[in-house]
Structure 1
């Protein structure tokens, strides 16, 4: 029987024992639960009976005259009825139910008598005061006695229920303990037998493994059983057979590998020398190309710098051209403005002369008016008293004529000064107009020269850009050649490193072959390639 089947059988036995224990425990727990429920019902009934007694006694011999007696009776009556209803539902003993019905009847009569006393308290208070004592003796006292008897009966039932619970607990303990003990004994017996067989098989495996660890590949593990231990022993034996064959093949292969590795090592030494020479030649070419590339780069930088300078000069010329055009236009505007100012001054001179003519006429008129006023004053003096008023008017006219003459004289002086200033202004404006015309002519010549320079600079800039583009293309081509040569040099260097690494690996391979031969020498009774033992 295999170990797996043995363990499965042991597991089934354990599960069967545990199932039996669980079934028996379930039945015992069910019975114990019923006992606990019965015990709790008894305790609850005792509590309700005691509560009924306490509530009834709280309203015994009450004073029916007091107004709070009605409310106290209502509360007590409602509570006792609820408790009696609950007890009637929970009790199962018919004798107890009969006693409970009697208690309900006695309480009904007692509460009816108390309510009657309360009703007649206002009309016959003395009779009402005697009723509670009579009701207590007739109904309440027997009811409390009956309640005490029921509580005592329940106490006996409570003790019996408690003893039953204790007995069921003991039964539950032994119903669990005995099956578990039997299952444990069976498990221990199976484990002991299983361990003895397993220990014997493992001892054979350990002793054979120690011999194999010492390098004795001729040892084999005895196969005593058909279980997993026997299968492991047989598998190890097959494994050792395979390992012995493989090690023999490895030994032969390592010898051939060592011979090939030595030959390959010589080839890699020669290849490394050739690769080093090739790498040196490539480095010389790369240095020459790099020097040529630097020269082309300098030429390209110079061309770019010249192009930038030409562009800056062209930009400055364009700026000067725009400035010259603006200056010429400004001078033309100034010339137009000066011409307009000269014309305005001419018109102003003409107007000033007209004002002088008019002022002269006014001055002559004022002198004549002065003479007329003087004549009028003389005539008024001759008229005596009759011409006194006219004399005053004549004096005023004469004074007015004198002031007019004086003002006209001032106007003529001012006009004369204005004429002189206008002449000076016309001369200055004419001079400015002549200079402005010269400036406009010079600006036109400058604009024409700057336009020619700008055209020449644009042509030079185009040629320099072509030179720079051609130089840049040459620089890029040289850079690509340099990169290609660097790549070749890098590959040559990398190839040389790989050859050196491979050379080292070949050396390691030779050392590994020697190590394999040394390691294989530790194994004894290793089969040869033709099948004979060594």
Structure 2
């Protein structure tokens, strides 16, 4: 059996153990989840029954004479209509009819009795007071009793379900941990056996690798068996045979290359001297061209900055001129509105004078009415009993006249305040008009000045553009000269660097040839190497052969 087959067998056994544990756990978990779902449904049913009971008890002392009783009865009826189908859906099918007849019928009768009590309360309140007590004892009390019985039965069932769930969880813990522990033990044992077998095989390979590390190229790895390690050993042994042949050829070629490297080193020194002189001349030319190009580039940058600044100032003056024109238009509109407001203030003052005249007239009428009411009261007092009604009317007329006089006083005060505010506002508006005229004139002057500045900036921008075009032509010419000189300098430096790099390379090549010859002497050829023979299929040792 190969190593991969052994490992796959271990994996398959591990998966089988895990699947067994998962299957048992899934079965118990599904059963526990079903019991938890039933417990949740029973809790929801208990909440609904408690809600029905609370609604019933809330109406146990309902007073039909109160307005809120009808609202409470309607809300309770809506709650029963909403919860009754949910309760029936949660109950077993065998209990539907019994619950419906016991609860729905009692609630319907109670609702009808309370509705009748509310109708009777509108005409005969004393008769309506006796109906809620009778309806409670006849219909609502049996309903509450039935709900208590159902709640008690539901609580007992819930306790039994909780006990069963606790037992299932304990059983789930036992059935999961037990098989899992056995599976872990089996996996550890199988992995230990595989590790022990691999350790014996690898010990023999390690012994052969130690001999190879000492330079014995004729040493071969053990090839007993048909597993992956044996196939790998066969491939490595073939590689060692090829390597031994290759090293023999490399040794002969290294000796010939050492002599040729000595000749190449002398030629390299001559080429380096010529390349160094050429690189120095190219570097001087490149530096001179670079200074010319830098001066042209600096002029171009300054011109670009001047042109950008001129364009920015032009934009800003145009924006300021536009803002001044818009401000002048808005200021003219504001002055027109100020004139209109001044005219309206004059009209408001005239209207205030008219209102004051009308208020004075109303006050005079109120004083005359008060005097007439006083005279009427005196005449009614003289008339005695027959003039009592007229005296009441005269008193009301007098009170009305006094309120009218008070109202006219308030109007006079309000008109006085309006006149004061109008005077202050009129002065403010006139000052604002004068200030607006001055501001409009200043904005017109500023707009004319900005227009002159804009024209001057346009001329400056045109001149700077002409200078920039000439500078660009000069910069292009200087850049071409710099590129050409840099290209020549780079080539000269590259040749110098390459030749300078070749010199140490030839020296290193000489050193490498000598080192290679020395290293080749470390390898022992086939006539010096010991052989590695198998001891048994699981372990190997080496045997020496005489040189």
Q: Which secondary structure does the structure 2 equivalent of 1:223 belong to?
A: coil
Is the 2:17–2:180 Cα contact (8 Å) retained in structure 1? Answer: yes
Aligned-pair CA distance for 1:271 = 9.1
Aligned-pair CA distance for 1:37 = 1.3
State the partner residue of 1:113.
Answer: 113
- 5 Å-filtered alignment, 1:245-264, equals 245-262=245-262, 264=263
Aligned-pair CA distance for 1:195 = 0.5
Q: Give the direction of change, closer, same or farther, for the CA distance of 1:272–1:131 in structure 2 (3 Å limit).
A: closer
1:201 aligns with 2:239: no
State the partner residue of 2:43.
Answer: 43
1:89 aligns with 2:94: no
**Residues of 1 paired with 2:133 and 2:272: CA distance?**
136
**Residues of 1 paired with 2:135 and 2:498: CA distance?**
124
State the partner residue of 2:454.
Answer: none
Aligned-pair CA distance for 1:272 = 6.5
Q: Give the direction of change, closer, same or farther, for the CA distance of 1:102–1:252 in structure 2 (3 Å limit).
A: same
**Residues of 1 paired with 2:121 and 2:268: CA distance?**
139
**Residues of 2 paired with 1:33 and 1:494: CA distance?**
81
State the partner residue of 1:216.
Answer: 216
Aligned-pair CA distance for 1:189 = 2.0
Aligned-pair CA distance for 1:129 = 0.9
Aligned-pair CA distance for 1:497 = 8.9
Q: Which secondary structure does the structure 2 equivalent of 1:128 belong to?
A: helix
Cα distance per residue 1:482-520 (max 9 Å; x no partner): x9xxx9xx99x9999978866654443332222112112
**Residues of 1 paired with 2:125 and 2:276: CA distance?**
140
1:75 aligns with 2:94: no
Query: Structure 2: which 5+ residue stretches go unaligned?
Result: 282-483, 529-545
- 5 Å-filtered alignment, 1:227-306, equals 227-262=227-262, 264-265=263-264, 269=266
- 5 Å-filtered alignment, 1:98-177, equals 98-177=98-177
Cα distance per residue 1:361-404 (max 9 Å; x no partner): xxxxxxxxxxxxxxxxxxxxxxxxxxxxxxxxxxxxxxxxxxxx
Is the 1:65–1:121 Cα contact (8 Å) retained in structure 2? Answer: yes
State the partner residue of 1:434.
Answer: none
**Residues of 2 paired with 1:220 and 1:184: CA distance?**
40
Is the 1:32–1:168 Cα contact (8 Å) retained in structure 2? Answer: yes
**Residues of 2 paired with 1:272 and 1:124: CA distance?**
136
Aligned-pair CA distance for 1:260 = 4.1
Q: Which secondary structure does the structure 2 equivalent of 1:123 belong to?
A: coil
Q: Which secondary structure does the structure 2 equivalent of 1:171 belong to?
A: helix
**Residues of 2 paired with 1:113 and 1:278: CA distance?**
124
Is the 2:65–2:118 Cα contact (8 Å) retained in structure 1? Answer: yes
* Bigger radius of gyration: 1
Aligned-pair CA distance for 1:74 = 0.9
Is the 2:275–2:495 Cα contact (8 Å) retained in structure 1? Answer: no
1:517 aligns with 2:517: yes
Question: Is the deviation greater in 93-102 or in 155-164?
Answer: 93-102
**Residues of 2 paired with 1:274 and 1:143: CA distance?**
119
State the partner residue of 1:59.
Answer: 59
Q: Give the direction of change, closer, same or farther, for the CA distance of 1:503–1:527 in structure 2 (3 Å limit).
A: farther
Q: Give the direction of change, closer, same or farther, for the CA distance of 1:151–1:244 in structure 2 (3 Å limit).
A: same
Is the 1:64–1:117 Cα contact (8 Å) retained in structure 2? Answer: yes
State the partner residue of 1:16.
Answer: 16
Q: Give the direction of change, closer, same or farther, for the CA distance of 1:24–1:274 in structure 2 (3 Å limit).
A: closer
**Residues of 1 paired with 2:268 and 2:82: CA distance?**
115
Q: Give the direction of change, closer, same or farther, for the CA distance of 1:275–1:259 in structure 2 (3 Å limit).
A: closer
Q: Give the direction of change, closer, same or farther, for the CA distance of 1:3–1:97 in structure 2 (3 Å limit).
A: farther
State the partner residue of 2:225.
Answer: 225
State the partner residue of 1:189.
Answer: 189
Aligned-pair CA distance for 1:38 = 0.7
Aligned-pair CA distance for 1:104 = 1.5
Q: Which secondary structure does the structure 2 equivalent of 1:160 belong to?
A: helix
**Residues of 1 paired with 2:194 and 2:90: CA distance?**
59
Is the 1:60–1:140 Cα contact (8 Å) retained in structure 2? Answer: yes
State the partner residue of 1:292.
Answer: none
Question: Is the deviation greater in 10-19 or in 510-519?
Answer: 10-19
Q: Which secondary structure does the structure 1 equivalent of 2:165 belong to?
A: helix
Is the 2:271–2:499 Cα contact (8 Å) retained in structure 1? Answer: no
Q: Give the direction of change, closer, same or farther, for the CA distance of 1:278–1:94 in structure 2 (3 Å limit).
A: closer
**Residues of 2 paired with 1:510 and 1:80: CA distance?**
107
Query: Structure 1: which 5+ residue stretches go unaligned?
Result: 287-482
**Residues of 2 paired with 1:7 and 1:229: CA distance?**
14
Is the 1:64–1:128 Cα contact (8 Å) retained in structure 2? Answer: yes
State the partner residue of 2:359.
Answer: none
Q: Which secondary structure does the structure 2 equivalent of 1:204 belong to?
A: helix
Q: Give the direction of change, closer, same or farther, for the CA distance of 1:4–1:117 in structure 2 (3 Å limit).
A: same
Cα distance per residue 1:18-76 (max 9 Å; x no partner): 33333333332222222111101111111111111110110113111222211111111
Q: Which secondary structure does the structure 1 equivalent of 2:154 belong to?
A: helix
TM-score, length-scaled by structure 1? 0.54
Q: Which secondary structure does the structure 2 equivalent of 1:63 belong to?
A: coil
**Cα-Cα RMSD:** 3.6
State the partner residue of 1:439.
Answer: none
